Amino acid sequence: MIDIKLKKVGVPNVNMLTLSGEFDLSDQDRAQGLLPEILTESCNGVIVDLTGVTYMDEAGIETLIYYLQELTRIGIYMAAIVKPESGLMNKLKRFGIFDCVGIKVFSSVGEAEAAIKADRCK
């Protein structure tokens, strides 16, 4: 079962969703049901921290895609933090989500925060 925590980060109006453990079909409804909670009124950016995820099946990928579809639809920036060279990173690369679908991927929270700040300065 995946452990899901929602918290604030160092960038204003950005929420971070931290997932850890194994993500499978039984977690999908719970994780997707969190989206309204993530999208607080002032939220304009979401970071999904996947560094603690040890396994993610297609239900987890579906959830990520669901987040991205919904956030994109309402114009909210989304970034993911994935452990480099991990099985999950390889899987996400193979799925082409990074290059083609639009989720920006970083290896640490700091990197993600810096990227969001830079993006806002543009």
- Report the interface residues with another protein, using CB under 8 A: 24-25, 54-55, 57-59, 61-63, 65-66, 69, 87, 93-97, 99-101
Q: Which is nearer to another protein, 46 or 109 (CB)?
A: 46
Residue 50 CB, shortest distance to another protein, in Å, is: 16
In whole angstroms, how close is the CB of 121 to another protein at the nearest point? 28
Per-residue burial over 81-102, b = 16 or more CB atoms within 10 Å of its CB, e = otherwise: bbbeeeebbebbeeeebeeeee
Q: How far is the CB of 116 from another protein (least distance, A)?
A: 22
**Which CB, 24 or 111, lies closer to another protein?**
24
Render the burial of 9-37: b for 16+ CB within 10 Å, e for the rest: bebeebbbbbbeebbeeebbeebeeeeee
